[in-house]
Amino acid sequence: MFDRRLIEHFDWGLLVLILLIAGTGLMVLYSAVMAGWQGTGLHYLFKRQLIWMGGGAVLMTGVLFFDFQNLNKLNLFIYAACVTLLVGVFLFGQSGGGSQRWISFGGVSVQPSELMKIALIISLASIYATKVSPEGLNFRQLLKPAVFCMIPVGLIVIQPDLGTGLMLLLIAGAITLFVKVEKKVVLILGALSGCVLPVVWFFGLKTYQKSRILTFLDPDRDPLGTGYHIIQSKIAIGSGMITGKGFLQGTQNALAFLPEQHTDFILSVLAEEWGLVGCTVLLMLYFLLICWGLNIAYNCRNLFGSILAFGITSMIFWQIFINVGMVMGLMPVVGMPLPLVSYGGSSVITNMVGFGILLNISMRRFYTS
């Protein structure tokens, strides 16, 4: 039977936050695709994003209807299904932009690497829930999670999709540090990578590979590609000043100076048109969202639920940090969308499902196993 307490405990605050961010995102996207001397020819993307958001909302609602603890029982099955899909990408996948990332089911294309993020979070939460101790985890206890992590990372990196592979590592790292590891382990791992990396750099990599990594770290090395994107993005952001140029008034955006202004670099459109005020509001909303997620982790009476909530929150956090840092020239340029703001179906769906899980944990926070 449906538990009436679930409605009483429903997390309206989180829902309002999500709706506020999504609303801001749609407004900025509207500006990004509609402004311009002759239009940017991307009008149809706005409608498409609305459809994605609608689909995401349906999925998010669907996720509410079952107890999140079922995920703990099903974790191996979910994990195996996602890994199978990743392997399937190589066998039946469609190439896009030089790498195989998509797989098609009766007309619907999915990107298994996106699903894998959530599957990995569930698996790690399930493993760690049985292992936590106040002293932290030792090497032996970290072996299983490491294997669970490296299989999908390896499959995604050879697609090749370095950005998503790195994302999985960051999420896994955050969860692992959250459940605490022994100091000794942290020190040894740090020292080990400190020794191995220089060896790989000097003996394992070819010149062109090094040059690629250096460009990744320092966009100025490629002034006609990413270096140009970054300077245009900085001009767009800086020119917004305190109050911005006004809705649909951004000139950098309108003149198509900005690369990818509707996907990865969408924050520069917001910054140009709404200035420091607009950006601060969005950053505050994101900050609240992250804190809300951490609070859900704290309030959950179930260790699996806590770690799961933390994992989802860390996924959102990393996207925000990397994207905002990249657009403002603090981070290397990698393909990383801004949650609920950037255009893109995969990102919208994954994040909405993540929010669904957060809402689910929040409304069942008093459940104990």
Partner 1 sequence: MVDLPKTKERDWMKQRVMAASLCVLIVFMLLFFRLVYLQLIKGEEYHRLSETNCVRLKSIKPSRGLIFDRHGELLVDNRPAFDLVMVLEDTGSVPDTVSLLASLIDEPYVDLMEQIQKAGTAAFYKPIVLKKDISRDQLAIVEAHKFDLPGIYVEIEPTRHYIYPKTASHLLGYLGEVNKKELESGMLPHVRAGDHIGRYGVEKSFEFYLQGRRGGRQVEVDVNGRVVQELKTVAPVPGHNLHLTLDLSLQQLAEDLLEDRDGAVVALNPANGDVLVMASNPGFDQNDFIGGISTRNWQALMNNPGRPMINKTIQGEYPPASTYKILTAIAALEEKVIDGDDTTFCPGFYMFRGRRYHCWRRHGHGHLNVVDALAQSCDVFFYLAGEKTGVDALAQYANGCGLGRPTGIDLDHERPGLIPTSAWKRERFNEAWFPGETLSISIGQGFNLATPLQMAVFTAAIANKGTLYRPRIVTAVKDVNGNVVREMDPEITGGIPASRQTLDLVRKGLTEVVEGDRGTARSIRIKQIEMAGKTGTAQVFSRKTGEKFDNENQKRTLRDHAWFVCYAPAQNPVIAIAVIIEHGEHGSSAAAPVAGTLVKKYLGLPGPEESFDAASEG
Separation of alpha carbons 285 and 308, rounded Å: 22
Binding segment toward partner 1, per CB under 8 A, in 25-33, 78-86, 286-294, 333-341: 286-294
Binding-site string for partner 1 from residue 124 to residue 163, where x marks contact by CB under 8 A and - marks none: -----xxxxxx-----------------------------
| CB neighbours of residue 222 within 10 Å | 18
Closest separation in Å from C-beta 298 to partner 1: 4
The full DSSP string for 114-150 is HHHHHHHHHHHHHHHHTT--TT-B-HHHHHHHHHHHH
Burial of 300 (C-beta count, 10 Å sphere; 0-12/13-18/19+): buried
Residues in the interface with partner 1 (CB under 8 A) total 58
Binds partner 1 (CB under 8 A): choice among 160, 184, 280, 366 = 280
**CB-nearer residue toward partner 1: 196 or 284:** 284
Residue 271's alpha-carbon distances to 32, 153, 262, 280, 328, in angstroms, are: 12, 34, 13, 9, 10
Binds partner 1 (CB under 8 A): choice among 19, 214, 330, 366 = 330
Check binding of 271 to partner 1 (CB under 8 A). Answer: yes
Residue 231 contacts by C-beta under 8 Å, 6 or more apart in sequence?
Answer: none
In contact, 321 and 309? CB cutoff 8 Å: no
Check binding of 249 to partner 1 (CB under 8 A). Answer: no
Query: Which two structure tokens, joined as six digits, stand for 240?
Result: 């917004």
Check binding of 173 to partner 1 (CB under 8 A). Answer: no
Instruction: Give, as ranges, the residues between 178 and 217 that touch partner 1 (CB under 8 A).
Output: 178-180
Check binding of 275 to partner 1 (CB under 8 A). Answer: yes
Instruction: Give, as ranges, the residues between 39 and 68 that touch partner 1 (CB under 8 A).
Output: 41
Q: Quick one: CA dihedral 254, 255, 256, 257, positive or negative?
A: negative
Q: Applying CB under 8 A, which residues contact partner 1?
A: 37-38, 41, 129-134, 178-180, 220, 223-224, 227-228, 231-232, 234-242, 251-252, 255-257, 271-272, 275-276, 279-280, 283, 286-287, 290-291, 294-295, 297-298, 303, 306, 310, 317, 321, 324-325, 328, 330, 369
